[in-house]
A and B are shown apart, each in its own frame.
Chain A
């Protein structure tokens, strides 16, 4: 099919709506009689459609690449701020331990109860809207946990855990049980997390299981959990300190 530049120009004007009503009418009359021109118009439409599709695909790929880059860039910052927070917490804990050690060094070995009081710190658990809806039992439980109303937070968390068995929820339930002195139940939940090898909660579960055992006067249990805390865990240094105290 041979194109003439003139036909191409006419098709362009027709498709872009740049013809007067009269020009349009005469072009359409020609189209009705001239099968070759009608074929050219169809081919032209097909080409521009493919062109648009190609451009859309390219743009989509480009924006997708930028989006992925930007998200990846934002990630380390988030990670770094979390690391800084963790470092600050560790330093704070270390300072507290040092103070504790300063006051206790002249006295006889501390009792399990004293050690528990010395080492126990509420875990900064937080459920966000990403974990649930805006006005969900989880957000209420989170609020109650922050206010240290563990006995009220516990049933809400247990109900959620019954619906959705996830490590974060199980850990939260264990913490509330520890705080409300339901030690065997807390230990069961921590042990489940330890056995599941969960990357986020296995080490914290060991630390809090050690504290729960301490609270229960079970020193060999405490030692066992503390010894299992991995060196890479933020709980490792305080676990070593506590082990030293227990060995006195």
Chain B
């Protein structure tokens, strides 16, 4: 078993712009929590496949929450992930109309469902991939930081090594314009996506 890291360290590593650092801390969380989540699911009418599914959803949720500034190092991250799993499983059980009494006594922490709806088909997926490749890595990163992770221009300036906030702002504007143009060019392909 890994030595327990502090919650601040975990959050710091989840926030790192270096993907390898993020992946390492996700692996650490996997090693520490996955067996426990499996036991919890198997003791509460779940299967191994349910455990795999729920645990991955929880890792996605905690990653997003930390990156979007909704969870910080003052939270007990391991307990929080456990409670996300518990809540996701409860929701799913209700959906299955199964009746169960959970043997776990942890207090529920309200969390958002990390369920990402996969509502586009494979062709559209490939088109989206191609579109973001055309956009370029720097633009993709700047827009992700701003719109997905809701980071400030100051943070983006540091993450991207820009000389000033104004440079970051201009870059973001240019990238958004480029993305809009690319989407407008392939509008037909994405029509069904945006009509949903």
A residues within 8 Å of B by Cβ? 1, 3, 5, 8, 16, 43-44, 46-57, 59-60, 62-64, 66-67, 69-71, 129-130, 133-134
| A52 in contact with B63 (CB, 8 Å) | no
Asked if B89 CB lies within 8 Å of chain A CBs, one says no
B184 interface residue, CB < 8 Å from A?
yes
Q: Could you say which of B4-12, B48-56, B155-163 contacts chain A? A: B48-56
Once the chains are docked, how many angstroms separate the CA of A47 from the CA of B148? Answer: 12
Chain B interface size range: 35 or more
Which of B19, B42, B45, B179 is in CB contact (< 8 Å) with A47?
Answer: B179
Residues of B within 8 A of A49 (CB): 194
B:18-69 near A, CB below 8 Å: 19, 23, 26-27, 30-31, 34, 42-43, 45, 48, 52, 55-56, 59-60, 63-64
Instruction: Give per-residue flags for B170-196: 1 if the beta carbon is below 8 A from chain A beta carbons, else 0.
Output: 000100110110011000001001100
Q: Which residues of B contact A67 (CB under 8 A)?
A: 30, 52, 55-56, 59
Report whether B190 and A8 are in contact in the complex, using a CB–CB cutoff of 8 Å.
Answer: no
Q: Nearest chain B CB to A139's CB is how many angstroms away?
A: 13
CA distance A207 to B99 in the complex (A): 45
Across the interface, which residues of B come within 8 angstroms of A60, CB to CB? 56, 60, 116
- The answer to whether A66 touches B23, judged by C-beta atoms less than 8 angstroms apart, is yes
Q: Name B27's contact: one of A43, A64, A66, A133 (CB within 8 Å).
A: A66
Return the chain B residue nearest A62 by Cβ: B23
Asked if B143 lies at the interface with its beta carbon under 8 angstroms from chain A, I say yes
Q: Which 9 A-B pairs have the closest CB atoms?
A: A56-B116, A55-B148, A70-B30, A46-B194, A63-B59, A48-B147, A47-B179, A66-B26, A63-B56
CB-CB under 8 A from A63, the residues of chain B are 26, 56, 59-60, 63
Partner of B120, one of A8, A53, A69: A53
B: residues with CB less than 8 A from A are 19, 23, 26-27, 30-31, 34, 42-43, 45, 48, 52, 55-56, 59-60, 63-64, 116, 118, 120, 125, 128-129, 131-132, 143-144, 147-148, 150, 173, 176-177, 179-180, 183-184, 190, 193-194
Closest to B120 in A: A53
> Are the CB atoms of A43 and B184 closer together than 8 Å?
yes
- Which residue from B56, B132, B150 sits with its C-beta under 8 Å from A54? B132
- When the two chains form their complex, are residues B193 and A50 in contact, meaning their CB atoms are under 8 A apart? yes
Q: Are A50 and B183 in contact (CB under 8 A)?
A: yes
**Known pairs A53-B120, A54-B132; A59 contacts B60 (CB<8 A):** yes
Q: Show 6 residue pairs from A and B whose CB-CB distance is below 8 angstroms, ordered by the A residue.
A: A8-B177, A56-B60, A57-B125, A63-B26, A71-B52, A129-B42
Which B residues are CB-close (under 8 A) to A48? Answer: 147
Nearest Cβ on chain B to A3's Cβ, whole angstroms? 6
- The CB with the most chain B CB atoms within 10 A, among A55, A60, A69, A133, is that of A55
Given contacts A8-B173, A56-B60, A63-B56, 16 further A-B contacts (CB under 8 A): A8-B177, A51-B143, A51-B147, A51-B148, A52-B147, A57-B118, A57-B128, A60-B56, A63-B26, A63-B60, A66-B23, A67-B55, A70-B31, A129-B43, A130-B42, A133-B45
Contact A57 B116 (CB under 8 A): yes
Check A46 against B183 for contact (C-beta < 8 Å).
Answer: yes
Residues in chain B near residue A71, CB distance under 8 A:
52
Expressed in whole angstroms, the minimum distance between the Cβ of B142 and any Cβ of chain A is 11
Given A54-B128, A59-B63, are A44 and B180 also a contact pair (CB < 8 Å)?
A: yes
The residue that A130 contacts in the complex, of B48, B55, B56, B194, with Cβ under 8 A, is B48
A5 CA / B177 CA spacing, docked (Å) = 9
Contact, CB under 8 Å: A64 / B56: yes
Residues on B with C-beta less than 8 A from A62 are 19, 23, 26
CB-CB < 8 A to B143: which residues of A? Answer: 51
A49 to B117, CA, bound (A): 12
- Which of B116, B118, B125, B183 is the one whose CB lies under 8 Å from A43? B183
